[in-house]
Structure 1
Amino acid sequence: MEISGDLPHKIAISLIPGIGAVTARNLIAYVGSVEGVFQEKEKNLMKIPGVGEINAKKVVRQNVLDRAKREVDFILKNQIQTFFYLDDNYPARLKNCSDAPIILYFRGNANLNERRIISVVGTRNATNYGKDICEELIRNFSEKSYQILVISGLAYGIDVHAHKACLKYNVPTVGVFAHGLDNIYPALHAPIAAKMLENGGLLSDFISETKIDRQNFLRRNRIIAGLADATIIVESAEKGGALVTADIANSYNRDVFAFPGRSTDPFSKGCNKIIKLNEAVLVENAADIEKAMNWDVKTSSNRVFQTSLFVELTPEEQKLIDLLKGGDRFVDEITIETQLSMSRVSSLLLGLEFKGLVTSLPGKMYRLK
């Protein structure tokens, strides 16, 4: 197994106390390399926007490289893949999220850039109603001709039932951990995790020997939401981690779906609530999701990029068309590359859709017709 020579530094920057993913990316962008961050003088680090004196001291006075080197040994021993945010193999959907982890650790064989990816989450206190939904949903997806990857958190309840259904119907599934890959929590799910390695995998942004901590479970929810085109809430109480994941997915401009339940059912109150608040689209089956995501629409790989001869475009519209000639783009990418506001880009894309020049794809991605 080959690893890059700067892997210890890539791991180490994620271990500096108080330096989150956003600040770490800022440091690397200004210094020029991850290794350079550890060699830069404190007075120079202080001048970087968003860093300041306190964070500059943390970087210079850190002592994390030795721990990072031990982690490299663990990675090699256990055949773990690493995805650094600047590497080509980093999951594309997650890369578009502002707070995406600097580095990810993965065991398994799943394609984290699969054409269709959904997250299925819900309460830890799954009812028979919720379990049946998981079973039917995954079975329906398994009967389709397209490939799909299912993401969840391997927790009790809806999460583990989604994973089990995937294993039963041979659908690739990935569990996102709130701790390192040296541990399975809950331990009861270790046999399921082992089977997932054969058709899916296990993913984390935590190093080995990380202690089980409640806050880490909330933190990992951003990965579950960010990896997917859409997040599906099967069951949830009025408050819970699944609703946090739904909220994060909405903040990423990803689609959110929820299965409704009876108004008197405590573990349907959360789903009913976000549907009522228009924070999720009501769905009853896989067909509803396929229709909303346009998965039943076949596209040709041999597309000809040509705008109508009789359509007049504004300079801004032409800018978007020229950008999309280079390939499909997420709306976040279009915003960054055109330096236009999100609201302006959304308005322009809608206009181009009405003119029949572009089409929207799952996960807020756009393509020339």
Structure 2
Amino acid sequence: MSDQELFYLLALLKVEGVGDVTAKKLLVNCGNAEAVFKAKNAQIAAIDGVGTSLLKYLKDKSIFEKANQELEFIKKNNINVSFFQDENYPDRLKHCFDAPVLLFSGGNIDLKNKKIISIVGTRQITSYGTEFCRKLIEDLIPLDPVIVSGFAYGVDIIAHQFAMDYNLQTIGVLAHGLNQIYPKNHKKYMAKMEYNGGFLTEFWSTSNPDRENFVKRNRIVAGISEATIVIESADKGGSLITANMANDYNRDVFAVPGRVTDRYSQGCNDLIKTQKANVLTSAADLIYVLNWDIQSKPKAIQKQLFIDLEPDEQKIYDFLLKNGKELLDIIALECDLPIFKISGTLLNMELKGIIRPLPGKVFEAV
């Protein structure tokens, strides 16, 4: 995109009354942003949902000064800019009707041919939520997913940290411009975040982390990924807003169940109860529902080469060899293993190529 094209796009987005939906209507009808400002009044007024109310604001010369200032900031700081019609714009986000016209990013973000999941939840994450998040991300390592979150306290930063610990790409979606970081305590993570992925925002350098910006930010978190995972949440909170947005975008939503007496499991339990989210007890649940192909990752090793199976893996493998196809619950019962433990064990065995999953949470030895 040329500087001139970007300048007029920035100017268009500064016109009072022009949001992302209206801007797209104007661009489609006029061809490009510069043409919007040169179009006749009758052409603008005839666009469905626009009308005459916008005409006077298109004449405001101050928007060009603001656009020029932002353009200078972008150039000076080597900010990457993605236009919603460009190839480098996130694929899934393109299909959201209210997706940002422009996205600004920094770091080493690469979303091409990637599995992308968003992980959200309470800012008051418990030890239960922390350990679940760690195990989930660890078990997903062979699939090399991109972990998206909002860089806030609690679940967000925990998800980013575990992704970085396991050398996975992670993206923080910000509710402000790229000239600052919020919360300030998280500045210490910036360099590593940019090395392992980076930051993404629709907000200008003149934007502050105002309350309403976080809700707007959440639609990017929900729209950019294949699935949104709620680790922990009270009965109200931003993560539930994100989950509802993901449902509106026809994305898969997962929630980690918890005890009915635990405050920060109430939101997750309610999502599951109202069928707004799939139950997530392990990485295997996610892989199964999303139908991710894990066979294409680590090459399957022939069974006879496996001489160092873990004791639980050996027990399960021997059981399946003897009994053939069997339900997960039956495997757990007959092998005397708890469900929460057997799910992860089955995933590891699947990655080793010695068992394979079948529809209905049935497994068989290969």
**Is 1:182 paired with 2:179?**
yes
**Is 1:44 paired with 2:30?**
no
1:69 alignment partner, SS class? helix
Partner of 2:144: 147
Partner of 2:14: 15
State how far apart, in whole Å, the 1-side matches of 2:254 and 2:89 are.
26
**Which residue, 231, 243, 258 being the options, matches 2:228?**
231
1:166 alignment partner, SS class? helix
**Is 1:209 paired with 2:216?**
no
Give 1:11 shift. Answer: 1.7
Partner of 1:134: 133
**Which residue, 271, 275, 278 being the options, matches 2:275?**
278
Partner of 1:167: 164
**Is 1:71 paired with 2:70?**
yes
The letter of the residue matching 1:131 is T
Q: Which one has the largest radius of gyration? A: 2
56-65 or 104-113, larger mean C-alpha shift: 56-65
Is the 1:112–1:227 contact (alpha carbons within 8 Å) kept by the matching residues of 2? no
Name whichever structure is richer in helix by fraction. Answer: 2
1:197 alignment partner, SS class? helix
Partner of 1:247: 244
Deviations 1:273-307 (A, max 9, x none): 0100000000111111011111136579xxxxxxx
State how far apart, in whole Å, the 1-side matches of 2:21 and 2:179 are.
26
Give 1:113 shift. Answer: 3.5
The letter of the residue matching 1:203 is L
1:99 alignment partner, SS class? coil
Partner of 1:191: 188
2:187 alignment partner, SS class? helix
**Which residue, 267, 282, 287 being the options, matches 2:284?**
287
State how far apart, in whole Å, the 2-side matches of 1:256 and 1:281 are.
6
State how far apart, in whole Å, the 1-side matches of 2:257 and 2:49 are.
43
State how far apart, in whole Å, the 2-side matches of 1:271 and 1:62 are.
49
Give 1:61 shift. Answer: 2.9
Is the 1:41–1:60 contact (alpha carbons within 8 Å) kept by the matching residues of 2? no
Partner of 1:331: none
Is the 1:16–1:62 contact (alpha carbons within 8 Å) kept by the matching residues of 2? no
State how far apart, in whole Å, the 1-side matches of 2:95 and 2:112 are.
13
Quick one: structure 1 residues 115 and 231, their matched pair in 2 at CA, closer, same or farther if it must change by over 3 Å? same
TM-score normalized with structure 2 length: 0.78
Partner of 1:86: 85
Task: Specify every segment of 5 or more residues in structure 1 that has no aligned partner in the other structure, as ranges.
Answer: 301-369
Give the length in aligned residue pairs. 297
Is the 1:126–1:158 contact (alpha carbons within 8 Å) kept by the matching residues of 2? yes
The letter of the residue matching 1:287 is A
The letter of the residue matching 1:56 is L
State how far apart, in whole Å, the 2-side matches of 1:68 and 1:235 are.
40
2:62 alignment partner, SS class? coil
Query: Superposition RMSD on alpha carbons, in Å?
Result: 1.6
Quick one: structure 1 residues 114 and 208, their matched pair in 2 at CA, closer, same or farther if it must change by over 3 Å? farther
Partner of 1:97: 96
State how far apart, in whole Å, the 2-side matches of 1:289 and 1:244 are.
21
Map residues 326-337 of structure 1 onto 2, 5 A cutoff.
Answer: none
